[in-house]
Structure 1
């Protein structure tokens, strides 16, 4: 018990210290309950800072794991640096002693902060009667999201409701995991309970598009609103309906999944996504590049509130042969795979494997889906007024130590997603004083809602007109011509179309990594060799392309569809069940 208490005290100390950033004007020993829940502060200023801290714990992508996007551990990319720690997971997987993307501690830290707020915020003499109502609802939605973020990694997890444990409370060390079904029901109930108590949504007309400086008309961008609660509900119900947690056979353990498949769960997910669509508050932005450098636009539903623009993203992602202001060398830290590049269809919407598509292996990047050029740097693409050279010995793949730290692409490609459209510019676009920036990380955007609806409705009732309409809207905005799909697709054929649309539309937005797990296809698409391309420039100036293996990821389908619970959690809590086969 002494060991348990020491561990709990350490966790609580870390949580308290991390809170201090919101209260820097006072020494740590002055940050007390009386200070935060100030019974003389009619504005609730310190209580609001507490909520801002919770917002800051929402996940942010782009450089979240070992300085790289999460997709560097998927079939979409690998790290360019062979010494990056993500390679450990690629080569060896994860286990209770060597975890990856472990958000258990951070999520429960945020949940604890929510519960502390709910326990104390009524002590503040709020002069604005609406504000405490909104804040109370906002933190409950965030708590639901943190639970969702845990569930998609671990399955069923401990539900704390409104409890705030003290370090010496024995109950802290006897928490058991709830069934996945119980977790889904709890989260959905929470979202339904507060949906109408949140601050009102901005209308589509008022929100409009960003102004190019990273701002729009909505000064409260990122604040939890009804639309966000509904969108999170749709995400949760889609996860619950997916094959990993809704198997058609082979019942799963009670804390990892449902006992049997149920098509009605697909209907619930489709209905939830449709409710967001029917709000008529969102639309697809005509220019996808706008999503890269604005934090307010027609398409963003849920963004990480208060997140700054990703500093120096252009330097870190651009091909290694480029330099920008101050002669700083670019680093090309992410290497997209050939599998991702091949997933992009031709501009006529046909897959490159279709013999009628017009695909030419000698000119593999010609006439492709415009999203390819917006996502990946390939050989011959234009960037900063010159052609990208990724052929062997080219400026962007020199095969020498001349590049920064000797690091260059592993696959023949570099990541472009998140950058401004600087092909014809002499230097990086500067927004908010950061060069060629990414926007505030968007957790849910309207294209996601459309494809979530299409997926769920297709699984429930087949590819009806509404499924076609949702998918084709995304393809039309992408610039495919024609964007329409063949009539009479089967459910299976439409499923493959939707899954591929999700892959190319949301590349590097932390969708693919979890999609291949919830669809239970990770063994087939990730636990196999991944490839890149080697390009030789011949003496006559022509190019020869050859496929090469760049990684052979380890994936044990008996265990790795769910994460292991960190061994430390098992040591301090004998009631904590480990996930199967770890």
Structure 2
């Protein structure tokens, strides 16, 4: 990676432009000297560094990974996920490859840090310069985290710009070990926190979307949880993962203290957010509503649970918007983001039990004879009496679409073969017989292409509760630790309208581990966590490599046609051991011969 002191493109908008904050579009060319000549131009350069943060809800082969794990499927032939799922990818495929963009972000952050003090604009105070430097420093560490999560051990670049006249041999830089990479990220984030230059959280809406202390602490929690997880903590299968000089890139000895570090990092952030999870009390009520709360935690801008977000979500964008890709055809949606049957089965019943637990009340036979709290009479019993998060996330055959236009009848989604959203009608159809409604606003009128203005939540307190519970359970060996971990799971379940965990879920590390993973799967569903979780837990060969299941979308002529409601293999998938890490692009291996390729590629 060569850092050149030449022309760069920067977006000429201010850090205070909330609506475009993370979507920099270059519209001018400045020399490097120009960038440091005035406050607005330096500010614009800092803004441009944010542009490399991936939009995790952006569809059409961007960074949404729902389709490569057991959460679901993308129907479109051009989707990279379909090729990855059948094992049709290699070092040159480029599928979801972020090696170059994340290093561009790292390089840009280093350039900013090393040069901002050259700006002597009298309106740019030393305090502001110092604050901006810490933002850039945090962003650099965050981009390294993203790289490590996707590629494993990476190359930690010199923080000073590499001389443009450096020889090719001087640019041959080997990979650092995984522990060195994590230490670098954590130390950088700690240095940012210890500087005291960033606010706890930004108060003004115009500043939200910038890196604050809570965001830094959240990424520290993520990094340490990754380091403690089975893929990287005691994984003997990486014993041969070495540089050309023989340096081991992975320490294969299990270290329980890594879980303690992860638990401490999560708890530190939890203690900074005493208001807890977002519980919404509807107008005219004196109690929070679980359904509205779990739905609107992703919709209500800047609510108390949000740690980090993109200030604006491209709700109705036809090209790559999440809402349009998920929504049914009859409201002008692309109708092709299908939830897997595995995910349907993961949601709890209204009584808090899993569908296969004794006393759950679950049935796959027939249709309901009466209406439920969230369902109509005549609903297939598989979907009756489920927890509120199910109804806030899943559109099943016979469900009503969430957008209700004044004066017009509610529209029912028909996913059977001949239905209004079925396979017979268009190539845009759910492959599994389900659609997603999580993170879609009921106020988005997609027929008119007018989505509501809202942020894209990328980190929230429920995740940190789950991080803490997982790490504490893995580190602690006594009942008190398990009870403490379960307490934070129970807080999530309470907000979701479910009872606390039964005692038998807390009797051992293994039973609580299962409960924590089950809760995480549901609470964070479709928020771009599952593909990373199955990898760091080292279970993806079993979960993501299993056949994708759904309903029989090739059958059905009515909502009550039982031919549709048959568990059906929708795709036979492949997950090789090499897939736990993305391949480093072959072009980078050719350019930097000291950088060894990932195992199995």
Q: TM-score, normalised by structure 2?
A: 0.83
Tell me if 1:229 matches 2:216.
Answer: yes
Q: Measure the CA separation in 1 of the matches of 2:166 and 2:456.
A: 37
Among 297, 300, 319, the alignment partner of 1:294 is 300
Among 428, 432, 455, the alignment partner of 2:445 is 428
**Which residue pairs with 2:566 in the alignment?**
546
Q: What's the CA shift string for 1:49-106, capped at 9, x where partnerless? A: 1110011211111125515721111111111223433211111253212232211100
Tell me if 1:470 matches 2:465.
Answer: no
Q: Measure the CA separation in 2 of the matches of 1:98 and 1:472.
A: 43
Q: What's the CA shift string for 1:339-369, capped at 9, x where partnerless? A: 1111101011111011310001121000112
Listed as ranges, the gaps of 5+ residues in structure 2 are 14-23, 243-247, 280-292, 366-380, 404-409
Q: Measure the CA separation in 2 of the matches of 1:540 and 1:500.
A: 30
> Is the 8 Å Cα contact of residues 115 and 164 (structure 1) preserved in structure 2?
yes
Tell me if 1:315 matches 2:330.
Answer: no
Q: For residues 501 and 45 of structure 1, do their structure 2 counterparts lie closer, same or farther at Cα, with a shift above 3 Å needed?
A: same
User: Counterparts in 2 of 1:257-406, with a 5 A limit?
Assistant: 257-280=250-273, 283-286=276-279, 287-304=293-310, 309=315, 311=317, 313-320=322-329, 322-323=330-331, 329-362=332-365, 363-383=381-401, 384=403, 385-397=410-422, 399-400=423-424, 402-403=425-426, 406=427
Among 548, 555, 576, the alignment partner of 1:530 is 548
User: Counterparts in 2 of 1:63-212, with a 5 A limit?
Assistant: 63-64=58-59, 66=61, 69-125=64-120, 127-170=124-167, 173-196=171-194, 197-202=196-201
Q: Measure the CA separation in 1 of the matches of 2:257 and 2:415.
A: 49
Q: What's the CA shift string for 1:381-423, capped at 9, x where partnerless? A: 11141222112311111x33x43xx32111001121210136x
Q: Measure the CA separation in 2 of the matches of 1:154 and 1:119.
A: 27
Q: Measure the CA separation in 2 of the matches of 1:147 and 1:345.
A: 36
Q: Measure the CA separation in 1 of the matches of 2:54 and 2:559.
A: 50
Question: How far is 1:502 from its partner?
Answer: 1.3
Question: How far is 1:464 from its partner?
Answer: 2.1
Q: For residues 248 and 485 of structure 1, do their structure 2 counterparts lie closer, same or farther at Cα, with a shift above 3 Å needed?
A: farther
The residue matched to 2:520 in structure 1 has which SS? helix
Q: For residues 172 and 65 of structure 1, do their structure 2 counterparts lie closer, same or farther at Cα, with a shift above 3 Å needed?
A: farther
Q: Measure the CA separation in 1 of the matches of 2:58 and 2:25.
A: 27
Question: How far is 1:429 from its partner?
Answer: 8.2
The residue matched to 1:387 in structure 2 has which SS? coil
Q: Measure the CA separation in 2 of the matches of 1:476 and 1:440.
A: 25
Q: What's the CA shift string for 1:265-309, capped at 9, x where partnerless? A: 000100000000111355211212223333311111122356655
Q: Measure the CA separation in 2 of the matches of 1:580 and 1:248.
A: 13
Question: How far is 1:202 from its partner?
Answer: 3.9
The residue matched to 2:355 in structure 1 has which SS? coil
> Is the 8 Å Cα contact of residues 416 and 557 (structure 2) preserved in structure 1?
no
> Is the 8 Å Cα contact of residues 137 and 194 (structure 1) preserved in structure 2?
yes
> Is the 8 Å Cα contact of residues 468 and 485 (structure 1) preserved in structure 2?
no
Q: What's the CA shift string for 1:117-168, capped at 9, x where partnerless? A: 0111001125433211111111111111100000011111111141222444
Question: How far is 1:522 from its partner?
Answer: 0.3
The residue matched to 2:54 in structure 1 has which SS? coil
Q: Measure the CA separation in 1 of the matches of 2:179 and 2:579.
A: 20
Q: For residues 256 and 512 of structure 1, do their structure 2 counterparts lie closer, same or farther at Cα, with a shift above 3 Å needed?
A: farther
Q: Measure the CA separation in 2 of the matches of 1:73 and 1:167.
A: 40
Tell me if 1:19 matches 2:6.
Answer: no
Question: How far is 1:18 from its partner?
Answer: 4.7
Q: For residues 308 and 421 of structure 1, do their structure 2 counterparts lie closer, same or farther at Cα, with a shift above 3 Å needed?
A: closer
Question: How far is 1:192 from its partner?
Answer: 1.0
Q: TM-score, normalised by structure 1?
A: 0.86
Task: Decide which moves more: 435-444 or 451-460.
Answer: 435-444
RMSD: 2.7
Q: Measure the CA separation in 1 of the matches of 2:520 and 2:26.
A: 46
> Is the 8 Å Cα contact of residues 245 and 256 (structure 1) preserved in structure 2?
no
The residue matched to 1:169 in structure 2 has which SS? coil
Q: Measure the CA separation in 1 of the matches of 2:260 and 2:207.
A: 33
Question: How far is 1:371 from its partner?
Answer: 1.1
Q: For residues 532 and 303 of structure 1, do their structure 2 counterparts lie closer, same or farther at Cα, with a shift above 3 Å needed?
A: same
Among 517, 534, 538, the alignment partner of 1:520 is 538
Q: For residues 131 and 306 of structure 1, do their structure 2 counterparts lie closer, same or farther at Cα, with a shift above 3 Å needed?
A: farther
**Which residue pairs with 2:457 in the alignment?**
442
